[in-house]
Amino acid sequence: MKRDLHLTASVDDPEALENIVEQLATRHYDIGCTNATVPPSWQAIDTSSVEIYMSVRVEFDYNKTQRIRIPCVTAFLFSCVKEKNNPYDLMWSISLS
């Protein structure tokens, strides 16, 4: 018998994590991607990624009355995008486990 299993991973302070990731992604030099010549309706961007190990809580329902919560440490890859004359903004992340 197949049953769906729904997992949820949660971070305690996502706003602080976002700020940390954006600071780590910021380069101390400009490689010039945002100055590239592109068609008029486009905008050149610069990307930067950082791998971070972080603690999360994985939760799932074991049965109708019991929820299992498991703390764990896992690696995430965060990617940030920078438009011309703007700071890096967090765009997406993925678990590497």
Q: What is the pLDDT of residues 17-70, one digit of tens each?
A: 778 887 777 766 666 676 778 888 888 888 888 888 888 888 888 777 888 888
**In the beta sheet, which residues pair with residue 48?**
80
Q: What is the pLDDT of residues 74-92, one digit of tens each?
A: 888 888 888 877 878 888 8
Full-model pTM: 0.64
| In 1-97, beta strands by DSSP E | 8-10, 45-61, 67-83, 89-95
- How many angstroms separate the CA atoms of 93 and 97, rounded? 12
